[in-house]
Amino acid sequence: MTDNPATLPQTCLVARAGGTGLADLQLVEEPLRAPGEGEVLLEMLRMTINPADLLLLEGRYGHQPSAPFTPGAEGMGRVLAVGAGVRGLAPGDLAMPAPTANWRSHRVLKAPFVVPLPADADPDQAAMLKANPATALVMLEELVSLSPGDWVVMNAGNSALGQNVLRLAGTMGVNVAAIVRREGAATLPRSLGAAAVLVDDGTGPVPALPDGAQARLALDAVGGAATERLGGMLADGGTVVTYGLLSGAAPRLSAHDLVFRGLTLRGFWLADWFANTPPERIQALFDRLTDHLAKGVIGAKVEARFPLTDIAGAVQSAAREGRDGKILLTGGGA
């Protein structure tokens, strides 16, 4: 416990969404209790606004909670106080909440749901650790067996997820072809070592990989016709993994690709991976990711930070087409 519980804040700010649109969001003040036995009080420093959060606000996410709900899959904060019996976490430590519902100034969690972060962790990058770096790592390592020199192709190649795929694939010696939908988005994947950057707005012929290369794995965040275009860049027997539906259209491959070329189309959802993976493997994943974070191996570009009190402006900015990096929320202690 902290020295004097009376010095702890007595209230916190919490975002409440109704799930009927981006504007259907309120910031409410709630009483804040001191942490009980085995609990940790976190002061949130940074929270991410991800595409899945925007879909939740619009009521369009694949796994929609009942309203009202607090959005925010990701965030990080500083420990303000711990209850009796908590080991390994102390006031002042940086930590990340494992659960969702993080768009708030403070939260009380049971200690096993609070992941310690290195003391010198960059708050922006630490806030973005849970979703995209974890998804990138699992998709690169567990869905297809990749060897150095193999090719992976992905769309939304300038996204935070794409940036982490590029960074992690670089450590594996795997070539990545990054597809972006506009010329202005090509610089970022180029700077991160993409073996090829293909600007494709989906209207012309399917772009080819350099020197006749063909990919073994395609990572699809877009769906619809974009999935089929990825199929055209795969070697026979290759796998397309749909993990996002940015176009809103269902992913599809042609019957020819499925039957005569032996392509596989499958989905990936990190929440499902967490639910079906033993806790010690999840722990090992986060140990690797915090190590990667400390060494600067993973990371994504940030466009702007907004205070939680300007949640409406932040959400509007995050929903803009062509933004140049993530929009983050800053909490009370930022």
Q: Does 133 bind ligand NAP (CB under 6 A)?
A: no
Does 246 contact ligand NAP by CB under 6 A?
yes
Which of 41, 81, 86, 160 binds ligand NAP (CB under 6 A)? It is: 160
Enumerate the H helices of 59-159 as residue ranges.
Answer: 123-127, 132-142
132 binds ligand NAP (CB under 6 A): yes
Q: Measure the CA–CA gap between 135 and 51, rounded to whole angstroms.
A: 14
Q: What is the DSSP string of 257-318?
A: HHHTS--EEEE--HHHHHHTS-HHHHHHHHHHHHHHHHHT-S---EEEEEEGGGHHHHHHHH
Asked if residue 105 binds ligand NAP (CB under 6 A), the reply is no
- Characterize the bridge pairing of strands 234-242 and 215-220: parallel
Look up residue 263 and give its two tokens. 């392509």
222 binds ligand NAP (CB under 6 A): yes
* Interface size with ligand NAP, residues (CB under 6 A): 26
Residues present in the chain in total: 334
Q: How far is the CB of 62 from ligand NAP (least distance, A)?
A: 9
Binding of ligand NAP at residue 69 (CB under 6 A)?
Answer: no
Is the CB of residue 179 less than 8 Å from the CB of residue 201?
no
Burial 101-127 (b: 16+ CB within 10 A, else e): bbbbbbbbbbbeebbbbeeebbbbbbb
Partners of 140 in the β-ladder: none
**Residue window 283-302: x/- pattern of binding to ligand NAP, with contact defined by CB under 6 A:** --------------------
**Within 161-180, which residues bind ligand NAP (CB under 6 A)?**
161
User: Considering beta carbons, is residue 78 or 181 the nearer one to ligand NAP?
Assistant: 181
274 lies in the binding site for ligand NAP (CB under 6 A): no
Q: Which residue in 149, 140, 126 sits closest to 286, CA to CA? A: 126
* C-alpha–C-alpha distance, residues 3 and 216, integer Å: 57
Closest-approach residue to ligand NAP (CB): 244
51 is an interface residue for ligand NAP by CB under 6 A? yes
- Nearest CA-CA partner of 58 in 46, 71, 74: 71
Tell me the one-letter amino acid at 162. Answer: G
- Does 322 contact ligand NAP by CB under 6 A? yes
| Under rule CB under 6 A, residue 158 binds ligand NAP | yes
- Whose Cβ is closer to ligand NAP: residue 51's or residue 238's? 51
149 binds ligand NAP (CB under 6 A): no
Given the rule CB under 6 A, which of 14-22, 48-56, 91-99, 230-238 is the region that contacts ligand NAP?
Answer: 48-56
Contact between 321 and ligand NAP per CB under 6 A: yes
Contact between 244 and ligand NAP (CB under 6 A)?
A: yes
Least distance from ligand NAP to the Cβ atom of residue 279, Å = 19
Q: Which of 25, 270, 298, 311 binds ligand NAP (CB under 6 A)?
A: 270
* Residue range at the interface with ligand NAP (CB under 6 A); choices 39-47, 80-88, 91-99, 264-272: 264-272
E strands within the chain? 11-17, 25-31, 39-49, 75-82, 94-97, 106-110, 114-116, 151-154, 175-180, 196-199, 215-220, 234-242, 264-267, 302-307, 326-330
CB 186 within 8 A of CB 180: yes
Q: Does 189 bind ligand NAP (CB under 6 A)?
A: no
> Which stretches of the chain bind ligand NAP, using CB under 6 A?
50-52, 131-132, 135, 156, 158-161, 181-182, 185, 221-222, 243-244, 246-247, 268-270, 321-322, 326
